[in-house]
Structure 1
Amino acid sequence: MLPSIRRLALLGLVAASSVVAKGAIGIKQAKVAVTSPNGLSDATYNLKEPTPLPTPIALSEGSTFKLSFSVIDTVTGEGIYPQQAHLLFEDPKGDDVTLPVTVKSNGKAQITINTAKPHPALLQSHGSFHLTLLLSSLDSLDPLSYPLGELSLPPSTLKPLPRKRHDLPPKQGDPAFQAQQEIFHTFKEDPKTVGWTLSIIGTVITLAPWTILLGLLGKLTPSLNFQTPPTSSYVFLLVLGALEALIFVYWLRLKLYHLLPAFLGLSVIATWTGIIALRELRARRLKAGGAP
């Protein structure tokens, strides 16, 4: 019984240690290979973290810098695929540059810098960098930050550094601001106005029907018999005026949800007063002998 208890306790300790233990990202078989067109500057450096390169590397025109390694879990020693793999180029005199490292599913990784066709981000720099390999994973593995050493690019491959907005002139007499091309804007032509002749003709055509109406009204006035309308007609007209006033106030400052309750209420009142007014007018017409 006692040996079995000890065995269970030992298994429990092993399981607990495996749960508590936390792995970290590491590399193996790391190597830096420098090749040149004539082969005179070829060199190979084997790296073992955390030891950096033994000497700074100065690339010449047409030379190639290649870093290759395998990403592993330091606890199990198996190859892993990191979610983030970058090579940091730290420029002491300017902005840093970060380039991605190509990693396969089995953990094999490499990055190549060819001075014949360098990355555009490296062209506008001072050309001297401190390299740092950055590897990280989204799981429980600790990230890796491995300083590799110094690397410099040939000056002939670099481009002039861009001047920033608030940089001072590089030398005395050089203007900080340059004259830009003048901006020309063509404004829209003014709309053409209608002549006086056409305006007068349009006014006459517009007022002609009203002239005819006033002439006919003068002939009809003697035969008209004006009577005082019933009180309900005045009430109906008053409600219609209230509706018009409400719409005018709504146009000035009211919201739609303020308008609708009052508008619906006045509409019901206008309908009711209109029906009553029409009934009284019809009763008067029938009483006077008019047609129903």
Structure 2
Amino acid sequence: MHLLSFPLWLLLSIAGVQASVLTLQSPRFTISSSNAEQLRSEPLSLTKKPKPLTLGASDVLKLTFQVVDKEESKGVQPHQTFLRFYDEVTGEEGIQPVRVTSGGKAKFELNMARPPASIPPTTATTPLKVELIIGSFVHSPLKVDLFDLLLPESQPAPQHPDEASFHPLPPIHHTFQPEQKLPPRIISAVSALLVLSPWVVLLGLWGYISPSVPYLLSPNVLPFITTLGAFEGLLVWYWIDLKLGQVLLYGGILGLVTALAGRQALATKSDLRTARK
């Protein structure tokens, strides 16, 4: 029984630590001018925001508070503490870390003569919503809506020397040459006849000479002649539809077949000549 109660006590202790809640003690803000004259100083409530705070171009805002454990009222140094400046109109926000001592005491100062870069762009009429966000490993997170802050209007950003290069350029209107006109049909017909005329001459001379080719259609020679004709057909196919890569592939396969068929044809021709002797 005693052994079982120890893990239960340990779990309850861990749950109790995780349920610990943080709160703020003595939160207060002070607004002073550049010559250290105090303009406004009020304590802050965790449930009700004060009237909007207004800072001039050289005013200083000081915020002080202490982070404590709500149950033990003991100062706690959280893991993360920062202020969030949020513009509800534009959606711009800025995060400013806040240093907290080991005793939980924190002090933040905003000098408008040298504002931090984390402050978002502001206008003279739209306040920034200032929130305090605290995170801890052993406590529940804390988020407090502190106050609304009116700051002087931000100065426009200086123009970058290369800014003009990033503006849209006038649209580019492409001009194309008119479509090439086809030559007259008579010229196309004459050109076709000139291309085919060597074949006409070749066939005419072939018929005039009447060479004797008794073995042209023999089973050992005809495959070689057929593969040569296939090469001509491949070139015509390439001119009509094929791509260069396809021609090289088909030509390589056809070339291997042609080489084997040619070797067989030459061997047959050699045997015939040897038999005549």
* Residue in structure 1 matched with residue 197 of structure 2 by the alignment: none
Counterpart residue type for residue 17 of structure 1: L
* Residue in structure 2 matched with residue 80 of structure 1 by the alignment: 78
250 and 126 in structure 1: CA distance in 2 versus 1, 3 angstrom threshold: farther
User: How far off is 1:28 after superposition?
Assistant: 4.0
* Residue in structure 1 matched with residue 38 of structure 2 by the alignment: 41
Counterpart residue type for residue 143 of structure 1: P
* Residue in structure 2 matched with residue 32 of structure 1 by the alignment: 29
User: How far off is 1:87 after superposition?
Assistant: 0.8
Q: What is the aligned residue count?
A: 223
255 and 18 in structure 1: CA distance in 2 versus 1, 3 angstrom threshold: farther
* Residue in structure 2 matched with residue 176 of structure 1 by the alignment: none
Q: Which one of the candidate residues 58, 64, 78 is aligned to 2:60? A: 64
Q: Secondary structure at the match of 1:151?
A: strand
Counterpart residue type for residue 96 of structure 1: G
User: How far off is 1:123 after superposition?
Assistant: 3.1
The Cα offsets for residues 74-104 of structure 1, whole Å up to 9 and x where unpaired, read as: 688642323x84413244xx22332112245
* Residue in structure 2 matched with residue 280 of structure 1 by the alignment: 268
Task: Give unmatched runs, 5+ long, in structure 1.
Answer: 161-179, 191-220
- Once residues 72 and 244 of structure 1 are traced to their aligned partners in structure 2, the CA distance between those partners, rounded to angstroms, is 95
The Cα offsets for residues 158-197 of structure 1, whole Å up to 9 and x where unpaired, read as: 458xxxxxxxxxxxxxxxxxxx998497989x9xxxxxxx
Q: Which one of the candidate residues 247, 257, 265 is aligned to 1:269? A: 257
| Identity in percent | 20
Give the TM-score normalised by the residue count of structure 1: 0.53
Are 1:101 and 2:96 an aligned pair?
A: yes
Residues 27 and 69 in structure 1, CA contact (< 8 A), matched pair in contact too: no
The Cα offsets for residues 203-242 of structure 1, whole Å up to 9 and x where unpaired, read as: xxxxxxxxxxxxxxxxxx9xx9954253344422323444
Counterpart residue type for residue 272 of structure 1: L
- Once residues 181 and 276 of structure 1 are traced to their aligned partners in structure 2, the CA distance between those partners, rounded to angstroms, is 71
263 and 66 in structure 1: CA distance in 2 versus 1, 3 angstrom threshold: farther
Q: Secondary structure at the match of 2:225?
A: helix
- Once residues 141 and 234 of structure 2 are traced to their aligned partners in structure 1, the CA distance between those partners, rounded to angstroms, is 72
User: How far off is 1:131 after superposition?
Assistant: 2.0
- Once residues 35 and 79 of structure 1 are traced to their aligned partners in structure 2, the CA distance between those partners, rounded to angstroms, is 28
- Once residues 106 and 266 of structure 2 are traced to their aligned partners in structure 1, the CA distance between those partners, rounded to angstroms, is 95
Residues 85 and 120 in structure 2, CA contact (< 8 A), matched pair in contact too: no
- Once residues 88 and 23 of structure 1 are traced to their aligned partners in structure 2, the CA distance between those partners, rounded to angstroms, is 28
Are 1:230 and 2:216 an aligned pair?
A: yes
Q: Secondary structure at the match of 1:15?
A: helix
User: How far off is 1:32 after superposition?
Assistant: 2.9
Q: Which one of the candidate residues 8, 18, 25 is aligned to 2:13? A: 18
Q: Secondary structure at the match of 1:122?
A: coil
Counterpart residue type for residue 19 of structure 1: I
* Residue in structure 2 matched with residue 206 of structure 1 by the alignment: none
The Cα offsets for residues 106-153 of structure 1, whole Å up to 9 and x where unpaired, read as: 67766543333444622357342332223456x685432211022212
Residues 88 and 133 in structure 1, CA contact (< 8 A), matched pair in contact too: no
- Once residues 256 and 65 of structure 2 are traced to their aligned partners in structure 1, the CA distance between those partners, rounded to angstroms, is 87
Counterpart residue type for residue 129 of structure 2: H
User: How far off is 1:275 after superposition?
Assistant: 1.5
Counterpart residue type for residue 91 of structure 2: D
- Once residues 245 and 67 of structure 1 are traced to their aligned partners in structure 2, the CA distance between those partners, rounded to angstroms, is 91
Residues 134 and 143 in structure 2, CA contact (< 8 A), matched pair in contact too: yes
Residues 24 and 144 in structure 1, CA contact (< 8 A), matched pair in contact too: no
CA RMSD, Structure 1 to Structure 2 (Å): 4.9
Are 1:113 and 2:94 an aligned pair?
A: no
- Once residues 64 and 276 of structure 2 are traced to their aligned partners in structure 1, the CA distance between those partners, rounded to angstroms, is 115
Residues 122 and 151 in structure 2, CA contact (< 8 A), matched pair in contact too: no
Q: Secondary structure at the match of 1:147?
A: strand
Counterpart residue type for residue 238 of structure 1: T
Task: Give unmatched runs, 5+ long, in structure 2.
Answer: 157-166, 178-205
- Once residues 123 and 273 of structure 2 are traced to their aligned partners in structure 1, the CA distance between those partners, rounded to angstroms, is 99
